[in-house]
Amino acid sequence: MEKTAEIIIIGGGIIGTSIAYYLAQKKARGVVLLEKGMLGEGSTAKCAGGIRAQFSTEINIRFSLESFKTWNRFEEITGVDLGFKRVGYLFLATTGEEWAVFRANADLQRQYDIPVELLSPQEIHYRWPYLKVDDLQGGTFCSWEGYAGPYEALTGFAKGARQGGVKIYEGVEVSQILRRGDGITGVQTSRGDIAAPLVVNAAGPYAGEVGKMAGVEVPVQPYRRQLFFTAPFPWIPDPIPLVIDFHRAWYFRREGTGLLISGPKDNFPSFNIHVDYDAMVEVAENSIYRVPMMEKAQINRGWAGSYEISPDNQAILGESPGLKGFFLANGFSGHGFQHSPAVGQVMADLLLGRKPSVDISCLSIERFRKGELIKEPLTAFKD
């Protein structure tokens, strides 16, 4: 393995491989990516794959629009079929407060030419008659959106990164980040030291642990979220949008011939990724409430993964103040997969000393020290 590098990326999930890919596209040399397990085996492997533009902050909308440019041409660019199913996202508002937020969000989204529709309960019932609507204030729908394959996306990024000269190592764990004074000098790994002036923390739910190795407090914690899958369910005709009951923090979509249904998110941090089958009771209640015919559904499996949650549920991007050469790409709080192309591009530009196409200054880790947290009303829903 290399003894020296120009840039070391810690973490082989969708964020790390995207950064590696765009560094390769920008002709960077001496890039090494280190993954302690297998590529994508962490949060990426347990991601539901949602891709949307319906966000309520300008930075996230811009990230979505920038990422769509890649998602819409992914097979052409990488040679890998993403399996992007553009079925749309349907957000449902139950309370007057939620509906007011949805309308304000739609106004902002339309400023960016996003074709979001505001729908009455009657319109929702007409288009998707299997949904219970008598308690709804309204909903929003955007046909651009949908879901895709996280494994396929990661495969495409990793393939392109390798073709561009990035060295990717699986089964290599970083045990220490080496520094001299206020600068990075490299990393210590299970296969020896690698000297490098630039290190990227793209460790997903382990971002805080990697930060500690560098003496930097990265305020990111892992929270378990469970997903469940049903046996074949033919009673709802396709296409089914990705339906989100915002009030209940519950969603479902088609998965193969069955359905994917979101389960509960823990309200305390842990690295627990075991499935709690007692959670199926809550899943069944939410499902039957919003889609009464789901009483016919049979849940036959589930999985659990970790969200990497920051204090304001927004990403942390940029160089760590006080430690030259230590870059952060963390805290995506459920939106890392869909924003990975934009994140990869802006991080690659930062690492190469170039001005990113999207201003990410608001996502600096410094915002927590300054008390300038980003407020986004729709943070209850995580894709």
Angle at 308 between CA 304 and CA 311, to 5 degrees: 135
| Residue 1 in domain | no
Are 231 and 369 members of one domain?
no
Q: 296: Cβ–Cβ under 8 A, 6 or more apart, which residues?
A: 233, 235
Q: Does the predicted TM-score (pTM) go above 0.95?
A: yes
Same domain, 239 and 359: no
Whether residue 301 is found in the same domain as residue 154: no
Residue 133: pLDDT band with limits 50, 70, 90: very high
List pLDDT tens digits, range 240-296: 999 999 999 999 999 999 999 999 999 999 999 999 988 999 999 999 999 999 999
Mean pLDDT estimate for the chain: 96
Whether the upstream peptide bond of residue 239 has omega within 30° of 0, thus cis, is: yes
Say whether pLDDT at 378 is over 70.
Answer: no
Looking at the fold, whether 29 and 133 belong to one and the same domain comes out as no
Tell me the CATH number at 300. Answer: 3.30.9.10
For residues 121 and 166, state if they share a domain. Answer: no
- The boundaries of the domain holding residue 191 are 7-50+150-219+311-380
Domain assignment present for residue 63? The answer is no
- Mind listing the pLDDT tens digit for each residue in 1-36? 899 999 999 999 999 999 999 999 999 999 999 999
Residue 77 lies in a domain: no
Q: What is the pLDDT of residues 329-374, one digit of tens each?
A: 999 999 999 999 999 999 999 999 999 999 999 999 999 999 999 9
**140 & 227 share domain:** yes
How far is 377 from 169, CA to CA, in rounded Å?
A: 39
* Residue with token string 């949060």: 43
pLDDT confidence of residue 382 = 66
**Gap between the Cα atoms of 192 and 181, Å rounded:** 22
Paired tokens of 124: 């929702």
**The pair of three-digit structure tokens given for residue 108, joined into one six-digit string:** 């902002």
291 shares a domain with 228: yes
In tens, the pLDDT along 65-119 reads 999 999 999 999 999 999 999 999 999 999 999 999 999 999 999 999 999 999 9
Number of domains in the chain: 2
Average pLDDT over residues 370-381: 79
